[in-house]
Structure 1
Amino acid sequence: MEEKLFWLGFYLKERNIFKTIKYFEEGIDIREIISFKKYSENEIIDLAKKEIERAKKENTKIYFIKDKEFPEKLKTISYAPLFLYVKGKLLKDKNLIAIIGSRKPTSYGKEVAYKFSKKLAENGVGIVSGFARGIDSISHKGTLDGNGYTIGVLGCGINIIYPAENRELFERIIKSGGAIISEFPFDTKPRKENFPMRNRIISGLCEGIVVIEAGKKSGTLITAKWALNQGREVFAIPGSIFSSQSEGTHYLIKEGANVITSPEEILAYFGWGEEKNLSREKIEVELTEEEKEILSLLSSYPQHVEEIFAKVNKSPFEVLSILTELELKGLVENLPGKYIKLKVNL
């Protein structure tokens, strides 16, 4: 507890989050740092105690990175936050996906965000987003309408509702059993530089991110970069080639992001919800051993037949024959360009 108080007080005194995190990651004893800075230990402890007391009054928890309540996935990322201010319930054993995108989405983007978040929520997947206008807010709302769990990650102090028009959404998330979180101390204003920092937490909490409509210079692309650095999956939903709102999304696709067109593909990719092992469970007894082997190599994401050839000790002719049988049984799809994928809607 003493270590937590020292770090929290120093965190509040310095008001430099990344610099404080760097000290922590280097394993420097916090008392040595306080002494080097010529701060009073009593002053540092007093700052921390006042922040914790305020948190109690405002029904907020402050989790230190070493606390058991702190999300395990978040501990492993670069520049892992030292503290999380939490309102609501931060569930530890929940499958999470981030849905992010433009603050000024088209009607297409709005529809996609709502339908994806609602469908994933109905299948038990929690949705994380940045509580901003546009795609973020719509994703939170779709999750709530699907009776699901959602986390809003703020770029300001947790006592500041930004944007202000999201007050009702803020309260609805808490009442639904979801969470609002921030690494920023109380009263931190929503400054522009806070949001790129906030984005690493959005991706860090999740198994992957889904990008819906991102402009060429969108902050969403920063989240995608964090996600890639953290080893998270990046999924992109194609938009109109004539829309500037999708330029960033299409850039991600060109750079190798997973292209998806339905929430079922997310469920199948991770083996979550109603799509979990659906094809294998339903028809396993009807397959030959060779068909089972090839089927086990496939997913809902297209693979070129050459990739499949390289994975098995069979001739290309044999593999193509087996794939033809699987297609006739309605288990795989043969796509243009010699690409193959699993059918998930059987």
Structure 2
Amino acid sequence: MHNLYLAALCAVVPGLGRKQIVKLTQRLGGARAVFEADAEALRATRLVRAAAVENFIANRSAVWPQKIAYFCQQEGVRLVAVSDEDYPSALRQASDPPPVLYVKGELPRTDYCLAVVGSRDCTAYGERAASYFAGALARQGIPIISGGARGIDTAAHEGCLAAGGRTVAVMGCGLDMDYPPENSALFRRIVRQQGALVTEYPPGVAPLPANFPARNRIIVGMSQGVLVAEAARRSGALITANIAADEGREVYCVPGNIFDHTSVGCHDLIRTGAKLVDTPQDILEDKDGWELHMRRHVSQPTIFDAVKLEKDAPAVPVTELGGRLLQVLQGGACTLEELTERSGADFAAVSMELLELQAAGLADVDQAQRYYRR
């Protein structure tokens, strides 16, 4: 039920915002409580702007959780929340992971996945390169992540499937739509071959141009490395490569024909630090460094990490006041004064309880000794 209402919260547009939704579910005691909350209760959390609250209240009547549940049951789709064990761990560590995913099929359970991206309007050379790399790496047990689009994406999915591998297509629309329509048979094969179709968009959402940059961050987030098989200078694949660099993922590029404009984007990426690869072995030999590379770029724990840690960590006994303070800190860092006000306890009691929580490893304070966090 939590995942269903979490999906409903995310489906309200304009809504509350992805990161705010997870904080609100912690503050108010669950996704259903947030979905059904009145404007006063939402404003009282101080987690969202008044305008966002008004938009949410005005638009939520158009979203029926029962409709989402019916779609998932009829189409064999699962809702996977960021706090669930089978949520992709690499995606959870990204800077902006979706609170919930719609998944049809099986998500890969492995330490390494490779994204293969490139232009929709590609050459035969680009298609061949994408298929070649995807197939060779799939035979080594590496799942291939791509976007299900025509061109390079299609070649990567096809190459992986032909090699007997598992692939994931991340969609920029609801899973009730096959986009592009000519790939409907491909999408069915992906699911049959123990891969998955994934999206953050609820049923009924069309493949609007604005959806695809957000889709690309999921492709990157699910992968430890990104291979750009072919890209022009103004290709969407370059946006994906830039997201990958920002997220600490390795970026690989296949070199192309110097006389062909579809190779210019890859060559620009190579000049600025992407790794040139001309055989799948180049990536396999570099694979052992992926995890270390990601660790160097992982940011401080986010609210999404807190959800997962809270679910998995063994319980530590705390007092009633300690529980209230931790509940307040679920919404973000607070000063001692803010904790005193929100908990309703006196200053001295809060100070002593914070020391106990820090000793138990349940709370921390910044170097300036001003802001406490969970």
The aligned amino acid for 1:213 is E
Contact 1:6/1:45 (8 A) holds in 2: no
SS in 1 for 2:94: coil
Contact 2:8/2:64 (8 A) holds in 1: yes
What is the CA distance between 1:35 and its match in structure 2? 2.6
Match of 2:38 in 1: 35
C-alpha separation between the residues in 2 aligned to 1:26 and 1:217? 37
C-alpha separation between the residues in 2 aligned to 1:132 and 1:6? 30
Match of 1:193 in 2: 210
Match of 2:146 in 1: 129
C-alpha separation between the residues in 2 aligned to 1:46 and 1:140? 33
What is the CA distance between 1:94 and its match in structure 2? 5.0
What is the CA distance between 1:245 and its match in structure 2? 0.5
The aligned amino acid for 1:14 is V
Match of 2:65 among 48, 56, 60: 48
C-alpha separation between the residues in 2 aligned to 1:214 and 1:202? 17
C-alpha separation between the residues in 2 aligned to 1:69 and 1:59? 17
C-alpha separation between the residues in 2 aligned to 1:14 and 1:103? 29
Match of 1:21 among 18, 21, 45: 18
**Which deviations, in whole Å up to 9, do the C-alpha atoms of 1:105-137 show, x marking residues without a partner?**
112111111111111111111100010000100
C-alpha separation between the residues in 2 aligned to 1:74 and 1:15? 24
Q: Which runs of 5+ in 2 are unaligned?
A: 40-52, 290-374
SS in 2 for 1:181: strand
Contact 2:82/2:100 (8 A) holds in 1: yes
SS in 1 for 2:117: strand
Matches within 5 A, 1:10-159: 10-14=9-13, 20-24=17-21, 29=27, 31=33, 34-36=37-39, 37=53, 47-159=64-176
The aligned amino acid for 1:87 is K
Check 1:5–1:180 CA distance in 2 against 1; reply closer, same or farther (3 A cut).
closer
The aligned amino acid for 1:11 is C
- Structure 1 length-normalised TM: 0.72
What is the CA distance between 1:70 and its match in structure 2? 1.0
SS in 1 for 2:67: helix
Aligned residues: 268
Contact 1:94/1:126 (8 A) holds in 2: no
SS in 2 for 1:240: coil
C-alpha separation between the residues in 1 aligned to 2:139 and 2:17? 40
Contact 2:6/2:100 (8 A) holds in 1: no
**Which deviations, in whole Å up to 9, do the C-alpha atoms of 1:200-232 show, x marking residues without a partner?**
000110111000111111110111111111110
Match of 1:169 among 186, 191, 194: 186
C-alpha separation between the residues in 1 aligned to 2:73 and 2:155? 30
The aligned amino acid for 1:145 is A
Which one scores higher on RCO, CA 8 angstroms, separation ≥ 6?
A: 2
Match of 1:325 in 2: none
Match of 2:278 in 1: 261
Q: Which runs of 5+ in 1 are unaligned?
A: 273-346
SS in 1 for 2:227: strand
Match of 2:353 in 1: none
Contact 1:101/1:212 (8 A) holds in 2: yes
C-alpha separation between the residues in 2 aligned to 1:27 and 1:15? 16
In the alignment, structure 1 residue 224 sits paired with structure 2 residue 241: yes
The aligned amino acid for 1:95 is Y
Contact 2:22/2:99 (8 A) holds in 1: no
What is the CA distance between 1:15 and its match in structure 2? 5.0
Check 1:46–1:159 CA distance in 2 against 1; reply closer, same or farther (3 A cut).
closer
What is the CA distance between 1:25 and its match in structure 2? 5.8
Contact 1:12/1:48 (8 A) holds in 2: no
Contact 2:168/2:198 (8 A) holds in 1: yes
SS in 1 for 2:137: helix
Match of 1:206 in 2: 223
C-alpha separation between the residues in 1 aligned to 2:24 and 2:67? 26
Check 1:5–1:166 CA distance in 2 against 1; reply closer, same or farther (3 A cut).
closer
Match of 2:266 in 1: 249
